[in-house]
Amino acid sequence: IQSLLNQGAPVDSFGVGTKLATCYDQPALGCVYKLAAHRASADDPWTPVLKLSEQPYKRTIPGIQKVRRYVDETGSPVCDMIYDESYIEGDGTTLVAVNDAALVTSVRDLSYHELLQPVVRDGAAAAPRESIEAARARCKDALDALDPVYKRFLYPQSYMVG
C-alpha cells in the first residue's frame, strides 16, 4: 500500500484481505468488486486498470466491462464472455476461460445477447422498473434454458466464463 501511495496511485481507500470484504466467520459475499477503470471526472476518458496477482484467477480484465451470453441453436447457454467494450475485436470469436487459460473455445457460430442492462444513467432510471413477477419469470426461464449438466448436485459440469 505504501508503495502505491508513494507512486501517486489514484486511490482514496483500500480494502485488504477477505476479512474486510465479508464477515470472517459468516461469509455472505461470493465475490468482491474490483476496480477495472477509473476517470478523474465525468468529462475525462476512462483509464483501464489491472489487478496483478500471482494467482491468475484473481487478475482482473481492465476496462469498461460488458458480459455476453452465448447460446446454442436451441437457446441453451453455452458460455459467458466478459469483455472490455472498447477493445473487443470483430465480434469476439474466441473465449479463454478466466480460471484456466488452457480452456479456449470458439464462439464464432453461436448467437449471443448482452447480459448487463443499464438501470440508472445520470441519476435517473434508464428503463421502466421490472415487476417482481416479470423478474421471477425471467429468472425461471434462464434457469430452465440452462443444460441440466450444470445444475446437477453430483459432479456438475463447470459453466465456462472467459
What is the per-residue pLDDT across 69-120, written as a single tens digit (0 to 9) for each? Answer: 999 999 999 999 988 887 765 556 888 888 888 889 899 889 999 999 888 8
Question: pTM of the entire structure?
Answer: 0.71
Taking Cα atoms as reference points, which of 40, 23, 39, 22 lies closest to residue 31? 22
What per-residue confidence (pLDDT) applies to 89?
59
127-136 residue pLDDT tens: 899 999 999 9
Q: Does residue 13 have a pLDDT over 90? A: no
Residues 83-111 as b or e (16 or more Cβ within 10 Å = b): bbeeeeeeebeebebbeeeeeebebeebe
Q: What is the mean pLDDT of the chain?
A: 83
What per-residue confidence (pLDDT) applies to 31?
59
CATH architecture of 2-161: Alpha-Beta Barrel (3.20)
- pLDDT mean over 6-13: 80
The beta strands (E) that lie in 17-151 are given as: 37-38, 47-48, 65-71, 77-84, 94-97, 100-106, 111-114, 120-121, 124-125
C-alpha cell at 88: 473487443
Burial class (CB in 10 A: 0-12, 13-18, 19+), 50: middle
Kindly compute the dihedral angle of the four CA atoms of residues 95, 100, 50, 36, in this order, to the nearest 10 degrees.
Answer: 60
What per-residue confidence (pLDDT) applies to 142?
93
What per-residue confidence (pLDDT) applies to 23?
58
What per-residue confidence (pLDDT) applies to 117?
87
Which residues make Cβ contacts (< 8 Å) with residue 22, sequence separation at least 6?
A: 28, 29
Residue that the C-alpha cell 445520470 belongs to: 122
Amino acid at position 127, single letter: A
- pLDDT mean over 31-56: 82
Q: Does residue 148 have a pLDDT over 90? A: yes
